[in-house]
Amino acid sequence: MQTLTSTHHNARQIPQSISRQRSYWDARVYNELRSGSWSLADLHQQIDLPAWQPYLERLPRDPYVAARWKRMSWLMLDDTGEPVALPYCPMAQAEAFNDAETMADKLRHYAPLEERFLQRQDVIEFIKGWAGLWDIQSGEPILMQINGVRGTALTDPLQGQGIHKDGSQFLSVLVINRENVSGGTSLLSFDKQGRQEILSGDLAPGEILHIRDDQIYHSVSGVTPFDVSLPFERFIIIINCRFNDPFQNRILREHFPGVVLNEW
């Protein structure tokens, strides 16, 4: 079995062209992203969602956001196209991309994704498939997060971010768990006010929303339980690459001097 292992930070300065099969995604997804700014797909055939559930139970609480649980890791493709986990680096978002008081212009430190999760073959193929979709090359840092909310009362999954961009060119959101949840409606819009709406709908577990993050805005509504006598939870994977946020790129360059960044 292929494994996703740690690597040192002196990655090659020049990305190597990687040949990849295009069979992970339907041709429709490529066509929609080529002609527009987003695409919705289903990954039930490619990933084993029930086998991913135990990893949700072991997520630590987000130290910055109440009622949220989270892990994150920085990854990249090596010269053969295989994903490797980079050493630790914090997450950073400038206020221009994240104006929530608890997160804007701050370095945020999270526990890494579990090694056993990253070593799963369906997770490895998902990372490779995602990188192939956007033509991500070797040496480009990829941020992969598992986060979500659980509780018994009204919760804002974005904790004040509202309609926003994440500060990258390419972003995808995969729903991996949705139990006893009302709300959690995903929104895409051409404007930050949400008046030029593109999409509004509830993503089911296994559905993934691909977004050109530098072109459109996204958001998700608050969640409440259908049955108020029972707890609810909703967890997602967020994966993105090629960052436009100078703050994040500066922190990446400090930690990984040789990586390939989207800099001007």
75-to-100, 117, 190, 247 alpha-carbon distances in Å: 26, 13, 29, 18
Beta bridge partners of 70: 147
Q: Which of 4-13, 132-141, 217-226, 247-256 has the lowest mean pLDDT?
A: 4-13
Question: Could you tell me if 212 and 33 are in contact, meaning their C-beta atoms sit under 8 angstroms apart?
Answer: yes
Q: What is the pLDDT of residue 13?
A: 37
Given pLDDT bands bounded at 50, 70 and 90, which one contains residue 1? Answer: very low
196-to-102, 158, 209 alpha-carbon distances in Å: 28, 20, 18
What is the rounded CA–CA span in Å between residue 168 and residue 245? 7
Residues in the chain: 264
Q: What is the pLDDT of residue 67?
A: 81
Residue 237 pLDDT greater than 90, yes or no:
yes
Q: What is the pLDDT of residue 154?
A: 66
pLDDT tens digits, 217-233: 988 888 888 888 888 89
pLDDT tens digits, 186-195: 999 998 887 8
Residue 6 tokens read as 């740690």
165-to-25, 48, 74, 104, 115 alpha-carbon distances in Å: 24, 29, 19, 13, 29
pLDDT tens digits, 199-211: 999 999 999 999 9
Output the average pLDDT for the chain.
86
Place of tokens 């990984």: 256
